[in-house]
Structure 1
C-alpha cells in the first residue's frame, strides 16, 4: 500500500488523496452490509462496476473524494465525497467508514474536515446530505460537524426492509463550528 498524501490535518484524522491501490479496500467498505443498510441500497456492487466508476470519477471535478486517515499511523478509516454542483456552488456530502473503524468517533471529525475544505478552500455556499432517520449515530455526527435539519423525504428510504423517512440536512459557512483546520494551517 502506498503512503497517504495528506491534504488537511485535524486533531486525530486527516483528509488525503484517494489512492488507486486502495480501491479494493474502498470496495469492501462500500459493500459491507452495514454500509448498504445505511445508504438504503439493496445490493452489493460488482468489482468491475466499482473499478470502472473510479476511472470515470478521477477526472471529474464535480466528484471530489477524500480518503480519511488516522494521523498517528496513516491507517485509512474511511472516505468522504463532495458531489459538487458547480453552477450554484453547493455539494452533496457522502461518507463511508471502514467497518472496523465505526463507533470510534471518526464520523464527526471526518465530516467536519470535509466541511472545512468545502467552505474555506472550495468556497461552496452550502453542503447537504440525506440520512435515513433510524441512523441516529450518523445524525449525531453530522450535527456535531455543523449540519442542521433541513427537511425530510417521507418513506423514501429503506431500513431493515421497511420504508423510512430520509432526513435532509444542510450546512452553510455560518454553521461551521470553529476552529478551522484550514485557518490554523494557512492563517486567518
Structure 2
C-alpha cells in the first residue's frame, strides 16, 4: 500500500482515507458524471481548473472529507468515491454528502462508506446529528442512506429537479444517540496504515 493510500477506517471491503490532492481529476470526474449531476439536481457542470482550485481550499478547510476505497484487493486499495461532513460546530451537527464513482456503483460500498463516515462524525468529531438532502426519485440513494442508519424527517416540496422534472427533496438524519454498535475505531477497530 502506498503512502497516498492510507486507510484510516475500514469495514469489510470498504475503507476511508484522507482526501488526496493527486486525485483531484478523479474526484472531478465522479462529481461531473451526468448521473451524479442528476442525483445532485445540479444542472451546471464545473470545470476541472475550478474543481482543482476548490479542492485546494477544501484540503485546508474545516470540512471532514474522506476518499472511499474498494478494499476487495487488500494489497491494492482502489479509490472509488468521496464522503464529506460539513459541520456546524455550534450545533454539533453536519450535512453529509456522498459521491461514488459510476463504475463502482452497485458493489455495496456506499452504505458502509456512509456508516464509517457517521462513525467518525459521532465518535471522533463529537457530532450530535448528521443530516442530508436527497432527491425523492433517487430511490437507490434513499435505500443506501436508510441502510446506513438515516431516518426520514421531512421533505422540501418541489425543491429539486430530477431529469428535468420538479421533485421533492427529502431530508434525512442520523443521531449519535441512535447510532448502534461499537465504533470501528475501538480497541479492535479497523484503523490501518502503511
| TM class by smaller structure | over 0.9
Runs of 5+ consecutive residues of structure 1 not aligned to the other structure: none
Structure 1 position 97 matched with structure 2 position 96: no
For 1:67 and 1:9, the matched residues in 2 are separated by 12
Greater RCO, CA 8 A, separation 6+: 2
Q: Which residues in structure 2 correspond to 1:73-88 (within 5 Å)? A: 73-88=76-91
Runs of 5+ consecutive residues of structure 2 not aligned to the other structure: none
1:33 match: 34
Structure 1 position 69 matched with structure 2 position 73: no
Structure 1 position 138 matched with structure 2 position 145: no
1:168 to 148, 171, 174: 171
For 1:106 and 1:138, the matched residues in 2 are separated by 12
TM-score (norm 2): 0.91
TM-score (norm 1): 0.94
Judge conservation of contact 1:69–1:75 (CA < 8 Å) in 2: yes
Judge conservation of contact 1:133–1:166 (CA < 8 Å) in 2: yes
1:185 match: 189
For 1:83 and 1:7, the matched residues in 2 are separated by 19
For 1:180 and 1:140, the matched residues in 2 are separated by 22
Q: Give per-residue Cα distances to partners, 1:21-69, cap 9 Å, x unaligned.
A: 11101110000000000000002111121111111111111x1110000
For 2:70 and 2:4, the matched residues in 1 are separated by 12
Q: Which residues in structure 2 correspond to 1:13-24 (within 5 Å)? A: 13-24=14-25
For 2:85 and 2:160, the matched residues in 1 are separated by 21
Number of equivalences: 185
